[in-house]
Chain A
Amino acid sequence: EPEVTQTPSHQVTQMGQEVILRCVPISNHLYFYWYRQILGQKVEFLVSFYNNEISEKSEIFDDQFSVERPDGSNFTLKIRSTKLEDSAMYFCASSADDYGYTFGSGTRLTVV
């Protein structure tokens, strides 16, 4: 069964540093998403991406965040200057039709 792959599985970074979280969506999917889950809290929407541009973003997704699909296969989330409160599990998802989402196994980001 096709999978969404995320790397790394765990990243530790110092406050103020830039991080890039990587995702390889399912190959024939057209819609891509990032969600995050702060420990003990609900899964929150960050951003959706379609046709090489952001289609929707939440208020969490401020100027410190950006997404890219640099080579037609990877889908990356960049946090320019990490804060302690960015510590969370970040999930990538993809969909063929904007309805059936397949989630990756997540990247646990720890900002120290």
Chain B
Amino acid sequence: AQSVSQHNHHVILSEAASLELGCNYSYGGTVNLFWYVQYPGQHLQLLLKYFSGDPLVKGIKGFEAEFIKSKFSFNLRKPSVQWSDTAEYFCAVKRNTDKLIFGTGTRLQVFP
């Protein structure tokens, strides 16, 4: 079955620490990849997306993600997190005209 895996369910960091959240998917062929963020009590917001081209994608708020096709991965990174990055992060994958499928999410807590 098609799936999106986020292995880190809960990540706790101090401010200024570096962040990497894992995302793996199980589809073959061409995929479009997304990271969404959900701040407490708010809606899903798009952080960044990959459709084609440079596999290193830069998004908003200093986030970036790298598409590694051979590993079926699209990990999210940020060199130095802030308290305001505390949120739930969702990886999502879309293949052609299929629906957007989300991973289970990673809850990030950043302490000052």
Q: A interface vs B, CB < 8 Å? A: 33, 35, 41-45, 48, 56, 58, 91, 98-106
Contacts and interface: CB of A to CB of B under 8 A. Distances in A.
Interface of B: 32, 36, 42-46, 49, 51, 90, 94, 97-105
Given A42-B104, A43-B90, A43-B105, A103 B99 contact: no
A98 B49 contact: no
Given A42-B102, A42-B105, A43-B105, A98 B43 contact: no
20 contacts: A33-B99, A33-B100, A41-B104, A42-B90, A42-B102, A42-B104, A42-B105, A43-B44, A43-B90, A43-B105, A44-B102, A56-B98, A56-B99, A91-B43, A98-B97, A99-B51, A100-B46, A101-B100, A103-B45, A104-B43
Given A42-B104, A58-B99, A103-B43, 6 more contacts: A33-B100, A45-B102, A48-B99, A99-B94, A100-B46, A106-B43
